[in-house]
Amino acid sequence: MKVKILKEDGFDIALFGLGLSYGITSEIEIEKFLNSERLKFQLKETANKLFNKEGGHNKFLESVQLWVDVTAPLFWWKEADTYRLSTKQSSSTMHTLMKKEITQDMFENKCLKENVRVFLEDLRIIKDFESLNNYLPQSFLQRRVWCMNYKCLRNILLQRKSHKLKEWRYFYKEILEQSEHSEFLV
């Protein structure tokens, strides 16, 4: 499994929006706010008090966007698809499965038995996409770019932090290590 944050954006804008709720940024232009370390610090302190409160208090987290490049087994993606408040773009099996030789590197922990790999490769060679797709093991790795906001990601991390699948614990660790504002995620 691989997890790499491609980009994070919107944190300062989220703080600016948070300032509107408190009348702090209501009378100033965004450029002035972005150049004011004092105002950003003040609103970050407010954000620190609100990020873990539900009921709309932490809605500023919805303005912070994150794009993550994830290569994970199908069994993991089935669980990740539970989170519908996000967008995923994937390397489609429909368009890519038949293009490359089936190798051990295409599976989580290279766990595929050789006779199964050969069987799958034979299906690919004879261009039997339907059978190959039907027999594809759940350990098959699929790469997706997953776009979500901090509020959605925070929910994912809280729910999957101690999950029995090691892949979720790995995802949790990598996201916290790579994110610019991890203090607002847990």
143-156 pLDDT, tens digit each? 999 999 999 999 99
5-27 pLDDT, tens digit each? 999 999 999 999 999 999 999 99
State the sign of the Cα–Cα–Cα–Cα dihedral 179, 82, 135, 125: negative
Residue 86 has pLDDT above 90, yes or no: no
88-130 pLDDT, tens digit each? 777 777 778 899 999 999 999 877 899 999 999 999 999 999 9
Neighbour count for residue 47 (Cβ, 10 Å):
22
Q: What percent of the chain has pLDDT over 70?
A: 99
* E strands, the chain, in order: 2-9, 65-73, 86-90, 141-149
Selection from 147, 168, 154, 157 nearest residue 50 by Cα: 154
For the entire predicted model, the pTM comes to: 0.89
Residue pair 150/184 in contact by the 8 Å Cβ criterion: yes
